[in-house]
Chain A
């Protein structure tokens, strides 16, 4: 097997030529995006360098508390990101449901995946725990974000249908069933679609990374298949928890719709 080509500082610098090309293009065309391009390149570089050093430290100083701390930061960031991404103002109770679904859904999938499927040892081994948690939490975050938009918009635009159903004696669950089903469907669809193109349209990041680092493609594929199933499981679990609990926040204990009040 070939050794890994380590990138030296000059090779890294050569990669930045792409940013220079982009800057020249936007400058020539008069598109005022230079600032964003420069800031995001610098942010990307600093964030990744820092993450690299943190990961080196964590791998060399394995401790369950460090792993738990890393996962907690990822979860908090993901939950905060969902709140931030939402275009509409979210109610306090809906925010609580988002946090609860993310924590329950991702952590249970993660623990099952690492301890039952991959069987890592020790259980907090950061070399496995952190990157896999990143993929599971990141994908679930995208799923829930989509779900939040769909649920809030759905209840808002179909308020009239929901109220008409309530007037006829429907429970809040019956009155929102089609919105809830629709939300779940559209939140898991991107994950299902990405499975279809996998290996043909694109080679997924984790698999590519493993192959570049010298792992046999067969082993890399094994991991990729397993992680895709883990991601699908986690996205489905977080989204189903979110929709099943989330629709209730739009009603009070008298089964009255309280949206927009």
Chain B
């Protein structure tokens, strides 16, 4: 699905060759500051590499419209943004941004259940805890039904039990809907338990384990 050849970004990342498979769950592990987030940002075309080439479905990212790409390859940052308004507003804003039809409240509640968030849709999203905000943002990404989910430590603000519950739900969602998931995680345990493939970034160099 994604192919990287001789990709360099500043002195943060240096990838000789990397292939990320379609309909699989790929985990990216590595020390903090090793370039994991940079790799996701490159795939989301939020930044462009200084040299080398990245392709998505055999098409160079250079020729794919950035906004179109981001609507198919959605990224969830580690500290997701909460926009002012209710949980419902925050769930719908992704659909508005990507110009997709808005969904019913039933649909939204279903997604809240999927991310294990026991809150009302009209609750103020800004008053939620860090972990709850993270789950709202995760729900927002799932509602978009993108081909690829790029998740940057989606469970960093969650306790271990909730972390497993959420990642399990995400993995099931990805497999049932034939999606591709690329997830940065600090936890080798999570990576080994849930992923089909693990990529390790060490001192800016990328290895497939």
Contacts and interface: CB of A to CB of B under 8 A. Distances in A.
Interface string B79-109: 1110100000000011011110000000000
A201 interface: no
B46 A170 contact: no
A256 B48 contact: yes
A77 to B, nearest CB: 40
B93 A255 contact: no
Interface in A134-192: 160-161, 163-171, 174-175
A36 interface: no
Given A168-B97, A168-B98, A170-B98, A163 B46 contact: yes
Contacts of B48: 254, 256
Interface string B47-84: 11000000000000000001100110011110111010
A261 B77 CA distance: 20
B67 A255 contact: yes
A171 B83 CA distance: 16
Contacts of B141: 168
A254 B49 CA distance: 12
Contact of B46 (A166, A171, A174): A166
Given A168-B144, A256-B47, A160 B81 contact: yes
A253 to B, nearest CB: 9
B144 A169 contact: yes
Nearest first, the 5 A-B pairs at minimum CB distance are A164-B81, A169-B98, A169-B71, A170-B97, A167-B75
Interface of A: 160-161, 163-171, 174-175, 254-257
Interface of B: 44-48, 66-67, 70-71, 74-77, 79-81, 83, 93-94, 96-99, 140-141, 144
21 contacts: A161-B81, A161-B83, A165-B93, A165-B97, A167-B70, A168-B74, A168-B98, A168-B140, A168-B141, A169-B67, A169-B70, A169-B94, A169-B99, A170-B67, A171-B67, A174-B96, A254-B66, A255-B66, A255-B67, A256-B46, A257-B46
